Chain A
Amino acid sequence: MRKNVLGALMLVALIALPSVQGSVGMEGYYTAEVQITGEVTLIWFNNETYTIDINETFIASVPDEIQPGEYDAKFEGYATITEETIEFYGMIEIDGESFKVEFTIPNEWPDIPTGKCMVFGEVQVKITESELPPTQYTWVHIVGPVTDWNGTPAWGWLCAYAKISANENVSRAYLCWAPQMETPYFNMTPFLTNFTFSFYAAKLVETDSIRFNYQGNDFYISGLWTVLNITFTYTYHDECIDYEWTEQVIAENATGELKVYDGWNKFTVSIANIGDVNGLVRSSKMSSIRVLEGDVTYDGVVNINDLVHVARRIGSTPGWVMGEMNFNLEEFAHVDINFDFQIDIYDLVSVATEIEA
């Protein structure tokens, strides 16, 4: 009953989405054309400076507190200079409110050294509400544990992220799984001796279509997947554990589908020649504003709890979680946000950037 109610609510939310006006993906922001003019100073570590005039217009998400108009503003950020272009990123500050911007201009100053430098400038900013009709995006984020692979009990984790609009479909999906305690995938040996841990990892490399309510599924992504068999080898020496890992391509650009069904409660990933990997949805979010991926505790917010949750797992790798042998991939993979098979500062930063200041 609860599942049906949830499904109905999701459907209502989906129908209501196109009526959201001016939504650009961030709550409290609107899409605007921003024209920046004036002198900015490029500063290097050897205190060498260059001052250049810029006049560039770009699209940005501007906070609701800053109304369209012309302002004196401060720009503080960085420039990455190549022989062809200068790419700026940083913050524009107007009357104590600031917002992030990124824009690129052609490099018309051949004497400016290439590389990265700091940029500061007192500039004029003209903000115009974008005349382009605001793009209506729908963000979907689904995570959950794997329960079986072709009927064999398995441990694993799915993370899928999609950004859908009338003109653009972007999605990412990662999946890893290993059959539960079955040779040759496991080589469990007594503690403090060498051991290996093998598992499968699949990644959606090309999205073909993303659909809601398609063929009896609540959500559906089809595309091409790459599947790897990854083996971590752990060796003890001098009371410490070291690891190295190898990967073997099992399938490259294989057709596959992710299907979410049963009121957004179950999922199946079907990949050609691999079979069906089934699981339960732990958390599914669908929104007209950008869904945050750093909520690893699934309490609806990204905060210090999520940071600590990831921080406690730093140093973990598949098969070795929080200093212990652990072959339940879910324990590891739910905090491996960048899917690089190690929990480190990159995963921590992925959460930290999503914490509201």
Chain B
Amino acid sequence: MLKKHISKCLILIIALSFLSFYLLKSEQAGSYVTYVYVSPKEQVIDSLNESFIVNVSICNVLDLYGYEFKLFYNSSILNGSQVIEGPFLSSTGKDSFFWVVAFDDHYNSTHGIVWVDSCLTGDVLGVNGNGTLVTIKFKSLAVGSSQLSLDDVKLVDSRKNSIPCQSIDGSVTIIPELTLPFITLALCSLLCVLQKRYRHHKSNQVKKDSFTEIRQINDATLLYGDES
């Protein structure tokens, strides 16, 4: 009787394992997500007026014929200096058309914009895989952090159908330069902080000691009564 139950259970477990393996396998192969993302996702620049690059890249794409996106940045922290077509779309030797719709540090009072459209030309298939769509050169202006936000990302295949995608934003942090005055200032600040902490610690210690003393008195009072 017990043997029968065990064998039934085993069969059930094996069947479930096969089923879950099959489902998992189907899910992994068939369902993929195309991402358009800012690369590197987070970047730290340690000096002002320094040029650095940010890529807008794509992964897991099939039959990409054209794309469009807007990238917004904080123009009080960064200024854009150059937009260059990445190698991905023309990677297979096909002709491509690249158009910068807008590249302006003063899109509004707070943000700049990079707005780019690009597509292949002719009756050809699109490109597959992963790669860089656009490289943008920025210059650090001021200390702070700027989001690099992708918006209105549109991907089109060779049959003029939309390719669904998810976009991933990035960020750039500009930190102060490590110059001698800055180091002196930083050390002074550190010393001040340490001194303050020491004082604070001392005063807490005094308070703690008095509290312990009071508590000891109270305990003694409770135990032995107020003899006074």
Q: Are A349 and B29 in contact (CB-based, < 8 A)?
A: no
Q: Are A350 and B101 in contact (CB-based, < 8 A)?
A: no
Known contacts A76-B125, A311-B101, A352-B121, A89 near B28 by CB under 8 Å: no
Q: Is A251 an interface residue (CB 8 A)?
A: no
| Nearest CB of chain A from residue B153's CB, rounded to whole Å | 10
Q: Is A168 an interface residue (CB 8 A)?
A: no
Q: Mark A101-116, 1 if CB is under 8 A from B, else 0.
A: 0000000000101111
Q: Is A212 an interface residue (CB 8 A)?
A: no
Q: Is A215 an interface residue (CB 8 A)?
A: no
> CA–CA, A89 to B125, complex, Å?
9
Q: Are B122 and A356 in contact (CB-based, < 8 A)?
A: yes
Known contacts A238-B108, A314-B101, A357 near B95 by CB under 8 Å: yes
Known contacts A238-B109, A353-B160, A357-B124, A114 near B30 by CB under 8 Å: yes
Q: Are B108 and A240 in contact (CB-based, < 8 A)?
A: yes
Q: Are A345 and B30 in contact (CB-based, < 8 A)?
A: no
Beta-carbon contacts under 8 Å, B150-197 to A: 154, 156, 158-160, 162
Contact of A113 among B30, B156, B159 (CB under 8 A): B30
> CA–CA, A219 to B154, complex, Å?
38
> CA–CA, A238 to B25, complex, Å?
50
Q: Is A274 an interface residue (CB 8 A)?
A: no
> CA–CA, A301 to B40, complex, Å?
42
Q: Mark A320-357, 1 if CB is under 8 A from B, else 0.
A: 00000000000000000000000011101110111111
> CA–CA, A349 to B128, complex, Å?
17
Q: Are A352 and B128 in contact (CB-based, < 8 A)?
A: no
Q: Mark A262-305, 1 if CB is under 8 A from B, else 0.
A: 00000000000000000000000000000000000000000010
Question: Using Cβ atoms and an 8 Å threshold, which residues of chain A touch B106?
Answer: 239
Beta-carbon contacts under 8 Å, A33-84 to B: 44-46, 48, 76-78, 81
Contact of B125 among A91, A311, A349, A356 (CB under 8 A): A91
| Nearest CB of chain A from residue B213's CB, rounded to whole Å | 61
Residue in A closest to B31 when the chains form the complex, CB atoms: A115
Residue in A closest to B63 when the chains form the complex, CB atoms: A78
Contact of B99 among A118, A314, A346, A349 (CB under 8 A): A314
Q: Are A113 and B122 in contact (CB-based, < 8 A)?
A: no
Residue in A closest to B101 when the chains form the complex, CB atoms: A314
> CA–CA, A296 to B162, complex, Å?
23
| Nearest CB of chain A from residue B127's CB, rounded to whole Å | 11
Question: Using Cβ atoms and an 8 Å threshold, which residues of chain B touch A352?
Answer: 65-66, 97, 119-122
Question: Using Cβ atoms and an 8 Å threshold, which residues of chain B touch A354?
Answer: 123
Q: Is A228 an interface residue (CB 8 A)?
A: no
Q: Mark B1-30, 1 if CB is under 8 A from A, else 0.
A: 000000000000000000000100111111
Q: Is A18 an interface residue (CB 8 A)?
A: no
| Nearest CB of chain A from residue B114's CB, rounded to whole Å | 13
Q: Mark B99-120, 1 if CB is under 8 A from A, else 0.
A: 1011000111110000101011
Residue in A closest to B98 when the chains form the complex, CB atoms: A311
> CA–CA, A15 to B18, complex, Å?
67
> CA–CA, A343 to B117, complex, Å?
11
Residue in A closest to B70 when the chains form the complex, CB atoms: A315
Q: Is A223 an interface residue (CB 8 A)?
A: no
Q: Are A346 and B97 in contact (CB-based, < 8 A)?
A: no
Q: Is B73 an interface residue (CB 8 A)?
A: no
Contact of B117 among A44, A45, A304, A311 (CB under 8 A): A311
Q: Are A345 and B66 in contact (CB-based, < 8 A)?
A: yes
Question: Using Cβ atoms and an 8 Å threshold, which residues of chain B touch A356?
Answer: 122
| Nearest CB of chain B from residue A97's CB, rounded to whole Å | 13
Question: Using Cβ atoms and an 8 Å threshold, which residues of chain B touch A48?
Answer: 25, 28-29
> CA–CA, A117 to B29, complex, Å?
9
> CA–CA, A316 to B108, complex, Å?
18
Q: Are A349 and B123 in contact (CB-based, < 8 A)?
A: no
7 A-B residue pairs with Cβ-Cβ distance under 8 Å, sorted by A, are A48-B25, A114-B30, A118-B128, A239-B108, A346-B160, A348-B97, A350-B160
Mark B residues whose CB is within 8 Å of A: 22, 25-32, 60, 62-63, 65-68, 95, 97, 99, 101-102, 106-110, 115, 117, 119-125, 128, 154, 156, 158-160, 162
Mark A residues whose CB is within 8 Å of B: 44-46, 48, 76-78, 81, 89-91, 100, 111, 113-118, 238-240, 304, 307-308, 311, 314-315, 344-346, 348-350, 352-357
What are the 7 closest A-B residue pairs judged by CB atoms, nearest first? A113-B30, A357-B122, A115-B30, A345-B68, A113-B29, A311-B99, A48-B29
